[in-house]
Amino acid sequence: MRAITLLLAAAMLLAGCQAIKGVFQPASKGDADLAAGIRSYEDGNYKESMSQLQSALKAGLADTGKVQAHKHLAFIHCVSGRQAPCREEFRKALAINPKFDLAPAEAGHPLWGPVFAKEKARR
């Protein structure tokens, strides 16, 4: 029983870590802020989400994380009626990864779908 408890404790500890070059290290502040920002976005807390996503970008993220942060910032700007910042965030995401595309459900969104399609076509 003690061995199972120790294994469960170790698994829980490692769940908060990520493997980098074969060594387990705690997830970066940027990754934690990105996850929090996406959760806040999904909860409809756009002001908090923007702050967390911007913090994630400042703290440092891998390119995939940067694209996700810029995508969600674009979504927030679009739903808030700020077309120019929405376009700019999509441009930033596409500059990082020109092959980046929205999921079908995202691409069909009436507010940001056309903005993204136009920016993607410009590349």
pLDDT tens digits, 23-43: 445 478 899 999 999 999 999
The per-residue pLDDT for range 47-103, each reduced to its tens digit, is 999 999 999 999 999 999 999 999 999 999 999 999 999 999 999 999 999 999 999
Give the pTM: 0.78
d(CA 66, CA 4): 39
**C-alpha torsion 77→116→28→56, nearest 10:** -20
Q: Which domains does the chain have, with CATH numbers?
A: 28-122 (1.25.40.10)
Alpha helices in 16-122, H assignment, sequence order:
29-42, 46-59, 63-79, 83-96, 104-107, 113-122
d(CA 38, CA 34): 6
Helices 83-96/63-79 angle, 10° precision:
170
